[in-house]
Structure 1
Amino acid sequence: MKFKLIMFMLLALGLQASSNAEEVDLAKQLANPVAAMVSVPFQFNYDSGYGSSDGYKSYVNMQPVIPFSINEDWNIISRTILPVVSQHNIVGKSGSQSGLGDITQSFFFSPKGATSDGLIWGAGPALLIPSATHSLLGARKWGLGPSAVLLKQKDGLTYGALANHIWSLAGDSDRRDISSTFLQPFLSYTNNKAWTFGLDTESSYDWKETQWSVPVNFTVSKVVKLGSQPVSFQVGARYWAAAPESGPAGWGFRAGVTFLFSK
């Protein structure tokens, strides 16, 4: 009887260790923007201090990431950002708007293996699609430009940067042209319990208005299994280190849930 009990406990511990190892591996893959893993994040964000300081914006970014295998050596990683927005007094006393924002669609051609130095990279086009359902929710412009990501993962650390630049190509002639650089340096650490602690900025520089927007994000996430479905939960805060005069300002909030599907 004691032998059976000991064997049962060892089996349970083994299954738990195996499950935990899988969750840790998924958490590390999630920290890699060009990992060969399907993920479907829903990311809620809230910022205030717009306009005459009483303006605010809340939005949910739906951000599916889907890898496609080209051959034995290369993947194409599709990354889509579709915002669903609710905002109030973003530009002066502009009132409230809600609906879809503009879609940013990126494709990264990425090697399936890291380089001899352990570097992981991807590059390709980024496309701005004028999908906004209200004139104050989007740019009313089609845009296109290059995008690239470079990172390294070692001993639970993930560090690197993602960047793109988009120029407007066509669209509403009454709206100003776009020339915008997005730069996201990131650093995260994943421990052996599948907790990930992250620090990044989602900075953008508007070359037409010559101004920076620099939110600094602090996040904590955890990969768990709901039944057999791996899910990552995230909470975080951000501070606007730089922004246009019309805002946002101060602190913002982020929370999200990501559904993970291994290839």
Structure 2
Amino acid sequence: MRKLVFFAFFITYCTILTAQIQDNYSPFDDGKLLRDKIQNPIANMLSVPVSYHLYLGDRNTNIIYFEPIIPITIFKKWQVITKTVIPLMNIPTRSGYKNGLGNVKFISTITSAKKKGFSWGFGPAIMFPAVKEILGNNKLSIGPSIIALKQTNGLTYGLAVQNYFSIVGSHTKPDVNILEAQIMVSQNFLDHWYVYTNPHITVNWNAISNKQWSVPLGVGIGKLIPNRYLPINLKAGVYKFVSHPTNADWLVQAQATFIINSK
């Protein structure tokens, strides 16, 4: 509990300390600039994030994520933001390391086409069975997805939540009831630099009590590289697990997002 309180105090202090050094922001720009859009998962932006996650423990786990994000306008005032999460996994097992495709997730969010400082959305999320049983859950699962975030003067903070429930699969396989929540906090600096924390918290409600929660705490730094043809957002962070169902102690992340189109 002390770690959680200290971490919350640290983030709050850094946010207040750096809030005075923003450049060229006005209330009319909140959420509209590209440096804001890269912090907003439901911005009207066609992009392809590619990330690498290294879970450090007695035996390390390696995962590469491809996460294409596609905005689709459905009405004049509304759009659907689709995100597909494709994990390529390398995980330790009793018989050695196993490689393959994990649970592919498809998340669609209905949101307003006109973004301001506050963004919100909702929609269905689908989790497909893993190709190999050892690499993930083995039932088709669906559930609700919601997101809300605020952007003001270079500061972004918000929350995205999904909960998956199994609907189809062998009765010999465990049922799925998994909550995934991502906390989003970032602060922009000069020259397109920013600091952020995006802990991805998961809860397996069907697991035994001491194996339910995965909670990382940490911080990262990133930079937007503007380019007329293909802007790129680069970031990297380090997280310490305060709770994890396996023996993982640390998580190291690195991500490159290729921005194909932003409106």
TM-score interval w.r.t. the shorter chain? 0.7 to 0.9
Q: AA paired with 1:48?
A: L
Q: Deviations over 1:63-118 (max 9, x none)?
A: 111100111110100011110111123xxx24210111111111000012357xx4
| 2:44 paired residue number | 36
Counterpart CA distance in 2 for 1:99 and 1:226 is: 34
| Residue of structure 1 equivalent to 2:247 | 247
Query: Structure 2 CA distance, aligned partners of 1:230 and 1:70?
Result: 26
Q: How many residues align?
A: 230
Q: CA deviation at 1:204?
A: 1.1
- Provide the C-alpha distance between the structure 1 equivalents of 2:191 and 2:155, rounded to a whole number of angstroms: 14
RMSD: 2.0
Give the 4+ runs in structure 1 shifted more than 3 A: none
Deviation at 1:129, TM superposition (A): 0.9
Match of 1:238 in 2: 239
Aligned-pair CA distance for 1:185: 1.6
For residue 119 of structure 1, report the CA deviation from its aligned partner. 2.2
* Aligned position for 1:124: 123
CA distance in 1 between counterparts of 2:228 and 2:36 reads 21
2:69 corresponds in structure 1 to 65
Larger strand fraction of residues: 1
Task: Provide the rounded CA distance (Å) in 2 between the counterparts of 1:172 and 1:56.
Answer: 30
Contact 1:27–1:222, Cα closer than 8 Å, also in 2: no
Q: Aligned pair 1:159/2:157, yes or no? A: yes
Listed as ranges, the gaps of 5+ residues in structure 2 are 1-23
Choose from 139, 152, 156 the match for 1:141. 139
Task: Tell whether the 8 Å contact from 2:73 to 2:79 is kept in structure 1 after alignment.
Answer: yes
For 1:172 and 1:223, the matched residues in 2 are separated by 45
Cα contact 2:43–2:115 (8 A) shared by 1: no
CA separation of 1:88 and 1:192: change in aligned 2, threshold 3 A: same
Could you tell me which residue of structure 1 aligns to residue 83 of structure 2?
A: 79
Aligned partners of 1:88 and 1:207: how far apart in 2?
24
| Letter of the structure 2 residue corresponding to residue 232 of structure 1 | N
Choose 1 or 2 for highest CA Rg: 1
CA offset at residue 58 of structure 1?
0.4
Structure 2 CA distance for aligned equivalents of residues 146 and 114 of structure 1: 22
> CA shift at 1:174, angstroms?
2.2
Separation of aligned partners in 2, 1:185 and 1:255? 17
What secondary structure, in the 3-state scheme, does the structure 1 residue paired with 2:34 have? helix
Question: Normalised by the size of structure 1, how large is the TM-score?
Answer: 0.82
Cα distance in 1, alignment partners of residues 43 and 204 from structure 2: 29
Percent identity over paired residues? 29
Quote the offset at 1:190 in angstroms: 1.5
User: Kindly tell me: are residues 79 and 60 of structure 1, through their superposed partners in 2, closer, same or farther at Cα, counting changes over 3 Å?
Assistant: same
Counterpart of 1:189 in structure 2 is 187
Instruction: Give TM-score, length-normalised by structure 2.
Output: 0.82
String of CA shifts for 1:17-59, please: whole Å, max 9, x gaps.
9xxx9xx93221010111000110000000022xxxx322101
Counterpart of 1:55 in 2: which secondary structure?
A: coil
Q: Residues 171 and 217 of structure 1: is their aligned pair in 2 closer, same or farther, counting only changes over 3 Å?
A: farther
